[in-house]
Chains A and B, each alone.
Chain A
Amino acid sequence: MNTSDLHPLLQKQLKRVVKQSPNGKASTAELLKLINQRYIDIDLAQTRLERSITVTSDEFGQLYSEAKQGKKDADDANFSKSLFLANMSHEIRTPLNGVLGFTSLLLSTKLTEEQREYLNIVETSGKNLLFLLNDILDLSKIEAGSIALEHISFNVQRVVEACVDVFRGQLADHKVDMNSYIDPKLARAYMGDPERLTQIITNFVSNALKFTTEGSVGIEVLAMPSKNSGKDNGLQALQIRVSDTGIGISAEKQELIFESFSQADLSTTREYGGTGLGLAISKHLATMMGGEISLESTAGEGSTFILTLELEEANDSQGNILSSYNTAALTGKRAIIVDDTAINRRYFEAQLRDYGMICHAADGCDSALEYLENNEVDIIITDHLMPQKDGVELIKTIRSQEKFIDVPIILSSSAGMARSQYENAGYDALVAKPVVQKTLLDTLNRLLGEQGHDYQDDKASSRNNVLRILIAEDNYVNQQLLERSLTELGYVTNIAADGEEAVKAAKTLHYDMILMDIQMPIMGGIEATQAIRALDTPNARIPIIALTGDAKTGARETCLAAGMSDYMLKPINLTILKDMIEKWDKTASSQESLPDVCMSAFI
């Protein structure tokens, strides 16, 4: 081997050995010394390397476990805080509901103008505080993992219509149109949590309205192809899209807005109000439902919030609405829609097409008149407020033409419009915006020849006898609130302060329904229900509705298993309570029997 083939460092070492050697040659001993030194160096380097790796990996291990523990501690602390917050907001809501309930009762008494004004402010402030608390409570419950979703049969259209109704009053003060469209494929009943779904949509809509000063807000529910397309697994994918023509959200802010406590901009909170928690809550709820929320938005042009989820089809024919609609009279009829808002036109068109109608949409009076000159129609639906020429003027123009004298015209107008003002305007029907499907269908049927199908009587039971309700509730404020509210609604009530009193009352007096608090001294609601169900009187079979502050998983099942008919979360919302009473009154009077779940308690 040539010296030049050796490692450069070794070459140098050899050169030095030779240089220092007296005879100019490297001795074996010197060479061995070189090799030995090399081994020593390698050993040392190896030892240090191994130790540095050991120490480093130990340190990283330690850092990792510290970080893990730190995260756990933080999560635990956060969880406790959420729990505390949930309890706290609940505690605050109870007296606040007392305040609100009695304010509402007080408002129905004789008051001076000044007193009424002050009380209205009390009510508005109280409600705002309640909204805030509800948001915080919801979020903290979600974070504490103590929210349980319902899994009951419901109809998507009812949910959407309920959402629209919530905002009907608010829209009267807005220069904003609202419209909704539900894919007819979704007319059947599905399983899910209608209340939470309503909450998400309501959040979307209130958000949309908050940031839209003029234009429109639309709710669109579309059937989507299922993820497992082709397989009939009883799941239906759908999208609920809430679009607005508001200020929109820039791309960089879009990521932020679903986070808790971070509205896109702090100035947003100041300018538009709100906790900014609504979307965070909605996102959590959507995730719990197995769905997701997305956002399409361009700053300055508007936003679309989209909830995508899959719902299980319910084995329940009751929830199926459209199948009971009678659209026979509408098939093949020709309609023209006149509306300056593209979303509105789209929704109207889609709905009419679902009914089998042939539809033309015009974006204003001029284009409508132009179309009408050359085309025959069976019905005209026009918006009221439009730029340039409004709907009332359009109707006048149309009516002035011979061939249109008998064509039915529907004027769709915002809720705030005084009906009497335009009575002679020449229309045949007025539908209030936002237009719900049932109203539109009924109106079309009426005008085009047939009666609309009465798919459900919205009014309270028409039974002549007054409903007798037993209130089992230990909290004085709640007792008073329930008693006065129910009396106000025309029901007769008795109060039992605990479960034992409730059972006693049920033994001796006749009731049509019992509202049963769950947590009461002496005897709780569960025990009392079981005792009442075991009685040998007709009261054993009346609806018993649980009132509970416990939204935990299984609470509902526990109530139902004990023989209760339904379940309501406290604090009591009077509208929901009213609906609940009416629902069970109807069920009891129509079926004259308890639902299966209640029957099971007798076995």
Chain B
Amino acid sequence: MRTNLLRHDGKRWKLKGAKPSAPDVVLAFLSPSLPNMAGEFDTLRAIFPDSIVVGCSTSGEIYEDDVREQTGSGIAISFDGDNASAKLASAVQTNATDSFQTGMSLAKELKNDDLVGIFIISDGLKVNGSQLILGLQGVLGPNIPINGGLAGDNADFGETFVGANNTMTSGQVAIIGFYGNGLKMHSGSFAGWNDFGHVRTITRAKDNVLYELNEQPALDIYKKYLGEEAKDLPGSALLYPLNIYHPDEPDHDLIRSVIGVNEDDKSLIFAGDIPEGYSARLMVGSPDNLIAGAGKAAQAISACDPQNSVALLVSCIGRFLVLGQRTYEEIEEVSEVLGAIPQAGFYSYGEISSHYKTGRCDLHNQTMTITILEEAA
């Protein structure tokens, strides 16, 4: 496997190393603050006309062991052997309720006996990630690794864009399937947030909107915990995600970030489904614990050959907001564990990975998620 890191400094793309002729896959993570984000993506498509070129808007770009804003980062992956290949499937959807169907139909396009794993780059606001994954699993079964992330737009929660061999579009889902016994896909995901307060039951919720915990308005409870920070809602709620789990399966706990509030009905809008009847507990993060958590995500991955591997990092905007100036420390923490494996990625509105305890693929918030693609030497 040969990889070339890509970097956009606000003016133009720069390629690390000798330009590959036709890489199999090019991934690009672009800041919506770039003056011409969509144009910069099209430029890459023009440079690599024969490659699968997939990109998305971000809430922060990861390049090597650092995090940047208002830039672009990316990676071009070229497989060496014949037993490795990639295929793109994409769809644009206008209605989030179609997500399950979208997942099913894209999975059908990609399904094959030698499918090793898939990497998703999806719109972050118009797609219901939980439903998308369920649709994919419905066709692919539970054993195919599903990884990836949802696009971001800084921390604005306005509109996100995904390009998939076409112009960057809102509402697009791009999935790359990796095939052949020459490839392996590894992943690790960890959060590092701390639970606090007592466990409540989600008594009223629909899709990703939470109305009541223990029959009390969810927003009232949040405001109580936020104290003075309540005046900075909804942004400040990102610092207090919710840990949810089915009462019968506390091990498969999922973190959900607040992405909006509705003062009228005192509800909270989350970046993932909030099922009624689940148990819920508030969480709070400290920079040190989050940084250590990122390290744990990396440690969960078995050793790989750095010459023939690439690491795709998807971390959460919520972590960025807590870590602030220290965000780079969590990337460094990952780099330290992964060593010389080239890494690129982005800060997102949702991470897709197997669960750190149960191993089941799911949509996460507030985690550092690492996907490693390794080609046999």
Residues of A within 8 A of B (CB): 9, 12-13, 16, 37, 41, 45, 48-49, 51-52, 55-56, 59-60, 63
Contacts and interface: CB of A to CB of B under 8 A. Distances in A.
Nearest to A54: B227
A12 B332 contact: yes
A51 B196 CA distance: 11
Contacts of B198: 56, 59-60, 63
Contacts of B227: 51, 55
B284 A16 contact: no
A460 to B, nearest CB: 70
Given A41-B286, A51-B225, A52-B284, A59 B326 contact: no
Interface of B: 196-198, 224-225, 227, 282, 284, 286-288, 291, 325-326, 328-329, 332
B108 to A, nearest CB: 46
7 contacts: A9-B329, A12-B329, A13-B329, A37-B326, A55-B197, A55-B224, A59-B197
Given A9-B291, A37-B326, A51-B225, A56 B197 contact: yes
Contacts of B197: 52, 55-56, 59
A37 B225 CA distance: 24
A474 B331 CA distance: 95
A9 B329 CA distance: 8
Contact of A45 (B224, B286, B291, B329): B286
A38 to B, nearest CB: 10
In the A-B complex, the 6 residue pairs with the smallest Cβ-Cβ separation, listed nearest first, are: A52-B196, A51-B227, A45-B286, A56-B197, A55-B225, A48-B284
Main SS at interface, chain A: helix
Contacts of A13: 326, 329
A41 B288 CA distance: 9
A16 B328 contact: yes
Contacts of B288: 9, 41
Nearest to B195: A52
Given A41-B287, A55-B224, A63-B198, 13 more contacts: A12-B329, A12-B332, A13-B326, A37-B326, A41-B286, A48-B284, A51-B225, A52-B197, A52-B284, A55-B225, A55-B227, A56-B196, A56-B197
Nearest to B227: A51
A284 to B, nearest CB: 37
A45 B284 CA distance: 9
A37 B291 contact: no
A288 to B, nearest CB: 40
A59 B199 CA distance: 11
A16 B284 CA distance: 27
Contacts of B225: 51-52, 55
A52 B224 CA distance: 9
A45 B289 CA distance: 11
A103 B287 CA distance: 87
Contacts of B328: 16
A37 B329 contact: no
Contacts of B287: 41
Contacts, number: 37
A48 B198 CA distance: 16
A49 B224 CA distance: 14
Contacts of A59: 197-198
A56 B196 CA distance: 8
A37 B329 CA distance: 13
A78 to B, nearest CB: 25
Nearest to B224: A55
B101 to A, nearest CB: 41
Contacts of A9: 288, 291, 329
Contacts of A51: 225, 227
Residue with the highest number of chain B CB atoms closer than 10 Å, among A16, A48, A51: A48
A52 B229 CA distance: 13
A55 B326 CA distance: 28
Nearest to A45: B286
A240 to B, nearest CB: 49
A45 B322 CA distance: 11
A117 B214 CA distance: 63
Contacts of B329: 9, 12-13
A342 to B, nearest CB: 54
A37 B325 contact: yes
A472 B329 CA distance: 97
Nearest to A50: B227
A12 B329 CA distance: 8
A42 to B, nearest CB: 9
A45 B288 CA distance: 10
B271 to A, nearest CB: 21
Nearest to A15: B332
A56 B200 CA distance: 12
B327 to A, nearest CB: 12
A52 to B, nearest CB: 4
Contacts of A12: 329, 332
B326 to A, nearest CB: 7
A581 B338 CA distance: 101
A126 to B, nearest CB: 51
A138 B282 CA distance: 51
Contacts of B332: 12, 16
A52 B286 CA distance: 13
Contacts of B196: 52, 56
B339 to A, nearest CB: 16
Contacts of B291: 9
B225 to A, nearest CB: 5
A45 B224 CA distance: 17
Contacts of A60: 198
A63 B332 CA distance: 44
Nearest to B200: A59
A550 B282 CA distance: 57
A59 B221 CA distance: 10
A315 to B, nearest CB: 60
Nearest to A13: B329
Nearest to A40: B324
Contacts of B286: 41, 45, 48
A13 B288 CA distance: 13
Contacts of A63: 198
A35 to B, nearest CB: 13
B243 to A, nearest CB: 14
A390 B79 CA distance: 102
Contacts of A49: 284
A49 B284 CA distance: 9
A421 B327 CA distance: 106
Contacts of A56: 196-198
Nearest to B196: A52
Contacts of A52: 196-197, 225, 282, 284
A60 B284 CA distance: 19
A354 B184 CA distance: 92
Nearest to A37: B325
A13 B329 CA distance: 8
Nearest to B286: A45
A55 B196 CA distance: 10
A111 to B, nearest CB: 66
A52 B198 CA distance: 10
A59 to B, nearest CB: 6
Contacts of A55: 197, 224-225, 227
A49 B289 CA distance: 14
A55 B325 CA distance: 29
Contacts of B326: 13, 37, 41
A213 to B, nearest CB: 46
Contacts of B325: 37
B162 to A, nearest CB: 32
A63 B282 CA distance: 17
A478 B225 CA distance: 69
B168 to A, nearest CB: 32
Contacts of A16: 328, 332
Nearest to B66: A16
A62 to B, nearest CB: 11
A397 B286 CA distance: 98
B2 to A, nearest CB: 27
A15 to B, nearest CB: 9
